[in-house]
Amino acid sequence: MMTRTGPSMVPSKSPLRLGLLGLGTVGQAVLALIEQHGAIYAARTGRSLEVTAVSARNRHRARRVDISVYRWYDDASALAMAEDVDVVIEVAGGVDAAYAVAEAALSAGKHWVTANKALLAEHGQALIALAHENHAMIGFEAAVCGAIPVVKTLREGLAANLVDDVQGIFNGTCNYIFTQMANGMGFEAALADATAKGYAEADPALDIGGVDAAHKTALMAALVSDGTVDFTAVSVEGITGVPDGISAQLAQHGYVLKLLGQCRLLAHGWAVWVYPAAVPQSHPLARIDGVVNAVAYHGNAADFGMLQGLGAGGAATASAVLSDVLDIAAGRGVIAGGLPNGSETTVVPVSERVGAYWVAVSDGGASLTAVLQNISAGLTNLGTALLVSEVREADLRDALNAQQYAGAWIRVEGV
């Protein structure tokens, strides 16, 4: 039996020099992990990590780590081009300013490791081209689901598969709110609770509006479709329009509400959709509560699998950041550019979705039932609602509009 005695390998190469942009919760966790476990990292890769420079919006803000030991840059672009920086780690967020710094770093031949899903979803292809041109690498494991190794699983572990379906709970804030609503809270109370506990930002619009989940879904779609995804073509719906009380009604019939991001291969393109969905309580994703994230996938050879874990937080995200850094240090794994560099993926609008729907009947009555029966493969009467199966969404919307329907309806997944 082998026992672990600690690091014994002496690094055989010069240190990998790191410049860190962003000293918030994640940036500080990156520094702390390197300080605490640097010797182990060196043993695992044969190369030590050395933070040579840092930058953030406010130099004098109180922090849990001592940044006086690192060279400070007021100008993030200057840090990105510094001669003693090999890898730029960006955990500052934002899009426009981050893009300018990424462009400067990659143009200078620096590797770029980021947790910035918005930047990659909106400008990933331009950065990929720049990375290839300058023989640089882009690591973005931290951009999707925090500590969960989703990117490496899809890009490396499932490389021999044609992955045709990925569904994920990509946003912990929304999942926490839906969990609290299932326990009887209204939406506003659940959002206030999430904010008080630090699970929601002061401005939660990107989370509850579905945009954060959509950024991550677009990155997943690019990986599994072997192409590039136009973010403006992604169908995005958040959770603000879900009425109070729906969770309880769904629970009576064995369903749980989840905000799902989906990448699914259809006959005429890829579904890249984010929306609230009713999921059967028997489905693995239905059991993911609170701020936990999870990703379920299907590959032609690997069949069905699921990953779950912490999707946010300082240490969890720093774990993913450093996994990419260690790949670079070891000279393995991170493909130049990181994302596929293929043709544009055909994205199918959600109006073309064919599937099941839960439709409240309180405002419809018999006439609504008759109309839906005409367009659906079948109806199940749930008393307070109808389960409409195998109907095209555009046809369902037309039918509801024709009835001047004002009630609630929810897409159903996993049936």
CATH at residue 132: 3.40.50.720
391 and 279 fall within a common domain: no
Range of the domain at 192: 157-309+343-348
230 within domain boundaries: yes
Do the Cβ atoms of 333 and 327 come closer than 8 Å? yes
> Residue 13 has what pLDDT?
78
Shared-domain flag, residues 92 and 179: no
- The CATH number of residue 393's host domain is 3.30.70
> For residue 272, what is the domain's CATH number?
3.30.360.10
34/89 same-domain check: yes
Considering the domain boundaries, does residue 388 fall inside one?
A: yes
Residue-level pLDDT at 166: 97
* Closest by Cα among 353, 364, 79, 122 to 228: 122
Same domain, 45 and 102: yes
Count of domains for the chain: 3
**Are 255 and 362 within one domain?**
no
Domain C-terminal end among 115, 143, 171: 143
Same domain, 167 and 295: yes
Residue 11 included in any domain: no
pLDDT value, residue 343: 83
d(C-alpha 219, C-alpha 106), whole Å: 20
Are 164 and 264 members of one domain?
A: yes
The number of helices, as runs of H, and strands, as runs of E, in the chain is: 13, 17
The one-letter code for the residue type at 357 is Y
Give me the count of residues in the chain.
415
Q: Are strands 163-169 and 255-266 parallel, antiparallel or unpaired?
A: antiparallel
Same domain, 127 and 31: yes
Query: Domain boundary at 143, 166, 186, which?
Result: 143
Q: Which parts of the chain register pLDDT below 50?
A: 1-10
Residues 227 and 186 in one domain: yes
In terms of domains, do 180 and 117 share one? no
Within-domain flag for 278: yes
Assigned domain for 371 exists? yes
Q: What is the pLDDT of residue 336?
A: 62
Please list, in sequence order, all residues whose beta carbon lies within 8 angstroms of the beta carbon of residue 192, skipping any fewer than 6 positions away: none
Cross-strand bridge partners of residue 56: none
Q: Among residues 321, 348, 375, which one ends one of the domains?
A: 348
The string of DSSP codes covering 60-105 is TS--SS--TTSEE-S-HHHHHT-TT-SEEEE-S--SHHHHHHHHHH
- Model pLDDT, residue 6: 41
Statement to judge: residues 62 and 86 lie in one domain: yes
| Same domain as 236, residue 205 | yes
| Spatial separation of the C-alpha atoms in residues 273 and 214, rounded to whole Å | 7
Q: Which of 110, 152, 216, 258 is catalytic?
A: 216
- AA letter at 124: G
334 in a domain, yes or no? no
Q: Does residue 330 belong to any structural domain of this protein? A: no
pLDDT at position 2: 36
CA separation for the pair 257, 177 (Å, rounded): 10
**165 lies in a domain?**
yes
- Identify whether 13 is a catalytic site residue: no
